[in-house]
Amino acid sequence: MNDGDYVLFNRQPSLHKMSFMGHRINIMPYSTFRLNLSVASPYNADFDGDEMNMHVPQSFETRAEVLELMMVPKCIVSPQSNRPVMGIVQDTLLGCRKITRRDTFIEKDVFMNILMWWEDFDGKIPAPAILKPRPLWIRKQVFNLIIPKQINLLRYSAWHSECETGFLTPGDTQVRIEREELLSGNRKLSREAFDWVIGEIESRFLQSLVSPGEMIGCIAAQSIGEPATQMTLNTFHYAGVSAKNVTLGVPRLREIINVAKIIKTPSLSVCLKPEVNKTKENAKNVQCALENTTLRSVTQAIEAWYDPDPTSTMIEEDFEFVKAYYEMPDEEIDPEKISPWLLRIELNREMMVDKKISMATNRIVDSRNLDKYCEFCSV
């Protein structure tokens, strides 16, 4: 093998088409495979000792198939769900963030090096934004080289504040890409931009079509087998994690296929309004208001005691509570009619605080509508 040769990579289990992808190799020392982090997600690889297989094409026909059908750029969009299966992560994502900061300036040698890697470079070098004392280019000029000129886009970061308005935001939380015309905050597509959008839609539609000779049965099987296998693997990955204590794997798949009316671990996704989705405390308040809390979830211990004298107690920990309570007894309650058998329930203080529950009542009603007299509460 030589630098620039094409090979096939595979990591078992082969759950979908992207488990086999073509790569252009670079011979390096040591007996390990080194991959770009962005292509790790289709392989479900996490660099903790995973084993992968490399296959070298032996004929011109096989090499042509790898080059035209199986290279990574050809496998970005999944035929199963028609959406990208990989994207920029970690260093690449961090680099995009840093290079687009307002205080980032690019020297001439770095900017020329970037132009060398630009495949569609037409030979026209953008004029530097700053000429004196030395030429400097700004962040926008780098991204303008790769963004299609017909794009119109306005997006905000997750930490964008509603009070930040205007063309430029103080926190640099706005991404605005404009072309042609802007009318009072509404964007209008030019004829050229509209044709580009239609062309993109048509191109992606044609890419999603099944090619002649494609094994559509395998793709259909992947649509069920790959998610089911991933759910089963996640069951082991999330073992012991209370926040991920949900039904996964084949049992969950069976619930989906059978349209089960009663599922084992129901969950709910709630989209919060802008005024409450900025802080964790506000989101927690909404969760506590919606959540159905049972006595079991906030109970730390339950004990059954025989206490013959209701106005006193044999339990040392509760003696002061009972004494203070019967200094001003409830006239509606006759102590002689209270059973000597008592159920002592000790509540979990941390859970009570977390769920924002206070002891505002001394009566607990069960599912059979039977009132239980609660003398005092120990939290």
Q: Do domains 6-75 and 296-373 have the same CATH topology?
A: no
pLDDT of 183: 29
CATH class as words, domain 6-75? mainly beta
Beta strand 181-183 with 174-177 is unpaired
**Average pLDDT, integer, range 319-338:** 76
pLDDT of 182: 31
The structure tokens 């296998």 sit at: 229
How many CA atoms, within 13 angstroms, populate the side-chain half-sphere of residue 43? 23
- pLDDT band at residue 256, thresholds of 50, 70 and 90? confident
Output the CATH code of domain 296-373.
3.30.1360.140
pTM greater than 0.85 (yes/no): no
Q: Is 79 exposed, middle or buried (0-12, 13-18, 19+ CB in 10 A)?
A: buried
Helix (H) or strand (E) holding 273: none
pLDDT of 368: 47
Extents of the domains making up the chain? 6-75, 216-257, 296-373
Q: What does residue 156 show for φ and ψ, rounded to 5 degrees?
A: -125, 150
pLDDT of 56: 92
Q: Which of 62-66, 167-171, 239-243, 359-363 shows the lowest mean pLDDT across its residues?
A: 359-363
